[in-house]
Structure 1
């Protein structure tokens, strides 16, 4: 199964809610950078293999997804999982959430889980996981689980710069809480950004671009700020250069196929997501 990365083209974060979460307003977009998840049903014991140092424990999103499927179905499941990571962990590209969503999609086919119930299960695993059940372009609100799909954006690409540092999401939120860095959420901001993308309005995209995490992360991680400065200077023809998500990845956005990774639609993802060997 192919598990795509995503970028936050626009991301505004509000103050902490009473339940400990934060409301966000964001534009999500999948790109054609993939992890690969190889599943082997019918094994005697569940196993997990990975080409990077990722442990099989309760913090692992695949572990969370499998546990949720077992809880919802009342079955003890034994399956082999081999994960080939290409999306950098802790890079703000949603790789762990994407991996979990692909596993949930597989079990949805096996156990004939209805879409509404599948979305609920995905929300239990992680805030970004419901988006990866479909992918493409989405406007997100709430803690990221409230999604609208106004139509996929195509015709753009990105270059990515990966600093050799991992930023934990919990740390990123703590930084903006400690610094009280909240520009506030304009409920129209994400929609206006989306409209600028659709209209190929480069100036509008630049003027509307926002990531609430960027300045707090730059103040704490000099190496991420250096990657941003280097990417900005080396790619002056980019529409905009920004940090994605809670970092640490920097993306440069281009119209056309200039960048290495292109926007990938939900329809195309559905064609390439799953294959049997």
Structure 2
């Protein structure tokens, strides 16, 4: 069956989601995240595009991109190919890194633009990784709120300008908007078959060779983190679910599976 043509945005702005192949992790440590942002900055500069927002999660990522003189499809192909080549060299592997086709939706008005940027920035909050969006290291929220943008990547002026002409006032209002309780549902990563708590508990016990799951709470950090990374490889498991079953915090699990 032929693929459906990608929706063309009248504004040139797209919300993009990219997933790891077979839902596998695509960012294992800080170096991976940093290299992806460096490549993103280069491709953005070379294509005359603009990054309005981003969030790099473990096995997927969100981008808010305004097209330049290359189409979003060409932009994403260059970005994905460059990172995949580097990633495969680093981890001495071959094959695909990303799911075959990225998902995208057009952003046609200011109201939906704000909805999307909040949705992107609240991803790590909803995942239980951080309590405040601006505290997540690998998103553009801190560029908007605190002006922290080491890669000089994010164009914040347009979205902040929707809140106020004065930059400091705009940043304060933007932060308030980010912190509002929201049930925004934009372009979803897609449904995933989840493993049941009972089944996951059984799989964890196998990894622990029959020992009770609660023993993870008494383990030394290096050994515990190594086991948590093995657990996260179980298909259908999530950070929240692993935390719930093991009695550890979501933050602890996240730090273990994304160890620098």
Q: Could you state the TM-score of these two structures normalised by the residue count of structure 2? A: 0.21
Which structure has the bigger radius of gyration? Answer: 2
Which structure has more relative contact order (CA 8 Å, sep 6+)? It is 1
